[in-house]
Amino acid sequence: MAALLTLLGVVMVLSASSVNDLRLYDDAWHHLKRQLSWLFLGLAAMVTMMRIDYQRLRAWGTPLMVVSALLLGLVLVPGVGVRTNGSARWIDVGPVTFQPSEMAKFAVVVYMASLLSRPGSASAGTGSMLRWTLLVSGSVGALLMAEPDFGTTVIVGALTFSALFFAGIRFRTLGSLGVGGLSLMAGLSLSSGYRRQRLRGLLDPWTDPLNTGWQSIQSAIAISNGGLDGVGLGASRAKWGFLPFAHTDFIYAIVAEEMGLIGAGLVVLGYLLIGLVGLSTAVRAPDAFGRLLAAGVTTWIVVQALINIGGVMGILPITGVPLPFVSSGGSSLVMTMGAVGILLNGARQAR
């Protein structure tokens, strides 16, 4: 399913970006060529993660977390981080733009699995292990909110909750953390003017149709134009300058327009199947570390897909996270495919 979604992403990136690429770069293949380059790097990362013993990842947890935190801090340094649309989320490395938040998600999965798979971690649900877990995830979340990147912060919170759940933390403690996390998320949603505007745009985009409601309205038009079986590949009208970020954050709207309810529904089914097989792999893992790795990767992919698709369909606020495997974006594709390699590795060794 990951391979099919990735191939669909290549086709849809070409379709969604070609018009704008021809106008900006005089090359309709600009983003397609970049996506293919990242795809080959992603395949290399996936094969590497499949072939090594995943137990060796235990030693990577802390170094990955430290490097990720440093990179998230560098993003905030003027002249180092690249600021676009009010957010500083990227670092230029020569001709390549890298997004440290994607590495941070990978690091959180590996670090939490390493930390919570230690003997006695489950029984330490209210002790130092839990405090350290919350301290690390809270620090990562604070760095992400400084960019700001609310969507990735929510994903990091979901990864932490998933790790604690599969580590066997007591349900009473887990429930308290869940309520506290949801309350914090609601508070952060209302803590900034532009996030409050997005919430108002979610409830009624027509209150500001030319500004905060524009993306939601154009996305809804694209989806409704698709009907049952779509207008046909390459025939989208939304990509002709009407729908901003059509090849990245809103590529699902182009899928729904060109492939209709049938194609859009199959994409959702693909993520559900990845979720079911991923959770099955976690349950059948031969050890606690493998269980937490598989659960973390599965949570990452499914929650991120839910946030993206929910935002495109107007049932969740727009957060700017890409659709896994499908959206244009090198950092996301490489890190997600590497994470899938870990999941496949665990599946091969499942009981």
Question: In this predicted structure, what is the pLDDT of residue 124?
Answer: 46
Q: Looking at residues 7-31, what average pLDDT do you find?
A: 91
In whole angstroms, give the CA distance from residue 14 to residue 9: 8
Angle at 283 between CA 336 and CA 134, to 5 degrees: 65
Could you tell me if 169 and 294 are in contact, meaning their C-beta atoms sit under 8 angstroms apart? no
Q: Looking at residues 239-246, what average pLDDT do you find?
A: 89
Compute the half-sphere exposure of residue 88: CA atoms within 13 Å on the CB side of its CA.
16
Question: In this predicted structure, what is the pLDDT of residue 81?
Answer: 76
In whole angstroms, give the CA distance from residue 6 to residue 12: 10
Q: Looking at residues 261-273, what average pLDDT do you find?
A: 97
Question: pLDDT-based confidence at 121, cuts 50/70/90?
Answer: low
In whole angstroms, give the CA distance from residue 170 to residue 123: 8
Q: Looking at residues 256-279, what average pLDDT do you find?
A: 96
Question: pLDDT-based confidence at 303, cuts 50/70/90?
Answer: very high
Predicted confidence (pLDDT) per residue in 220-229, tens digit: 999 999 999 9
- What 8-state DSSP symbol labels residue 78? B
In whole angstroms, give the CA distance from residue 147 to residue 170: 34
Question: pLDDT-based confidence at 308, cuts 50/70/90?
Answer: very high
Name the residue among 315, 262, 266, 184 with its Cα closest to residue 7: 266
Angle at 238 between CA 237 and CA 242, to 5 degrees: 120
Residue 102 has pLDDT above 70, yes or no: yes
Q: Looking at residues 193-212, what average pLDDT do you find?
A: 75
What is the per-residue DSSP string for 233-277? TT--STTTTTSTTTTTTTHHHHHHHHHHHHHHHHHHHHHHHHHHH
Higher-confidence residue of 96 and 154: namely 154
Alpha helices in the chain (DSSP H): 2-25, 30-51, 61-75, 100-116, 128-145, 150-167, 171-189, 193-203, 214-226, 251-283, 288-313, 330-348
Question: In this predicted structure, what is the pLDDT of residue 277?
Answer: 94
In whole angstroms, give the CA distance from residue 47 to residue 250: 29
Mean pLDDT of the chain: 88
The distance in angstroms from the start CA to the end CA of the chain is 22
Question: In this predicted structure, what is the pLDDT of residue 181?
Answer: 86
In whole angstroms, give the CA distance from residue 176 to residue 138: 16
pTM for the whole structure: 0.92
Question: In this predicted structure, what is the pLDDT of residue 351?
Answer: 60
